[in-house]
Amino acid sequence: MSVTLDLKSILLMLMIIAIIVLVVYLIIMVSKLLKTLDHANCILEDVENVSCGVSGTVSDISEAVKGNKNVITVAASAVKVASAFKSLVGSNEDDDLK
């Protein structure tokens, strides 16, 4: 019993193996990309919350300067923004520790 392999069949087998390895690699990379996109979406949602709070505070401060709002209301909104920013920074530090 003898097995005969010509160059054409050897190259074909090598190409099939390379394609299989490439497909596996692409599947792994796509799964990592999806995890990265989920993390980016969480970050963008947090940024949106903080920016909404900051814009509200800025408008409150400008209205207080004009005399249209109570200073206590402005201070309360500034504290809310500061606490939101602190929780955002604290949650990022907790994620970095993991």
Averaged over 54-82, what is the pLDDT? 68
Name 91's Cβ contacts closer than 8 Å, sequence gap at least 6. 46
Overall pTM surpassing 0.75 (yes/no):
no
Q: Is residue 50 in some structural domain?
A: yes
Question: Residue 7 — pLDDT band, cuts 50, 70, 90?
Answer: very high
Question: What's the domain count of the chain?
Answer: 1
Name 51's Cβ contacts closer than 8 Å, sequence gap at least 6. none
> Could you list the residue range(s) of the whole structural domain that residue 84 is in?
7-97
Distance CA 92, CA 86 (A): 10
Q: Is residue 1 in some structural domain?
A: no
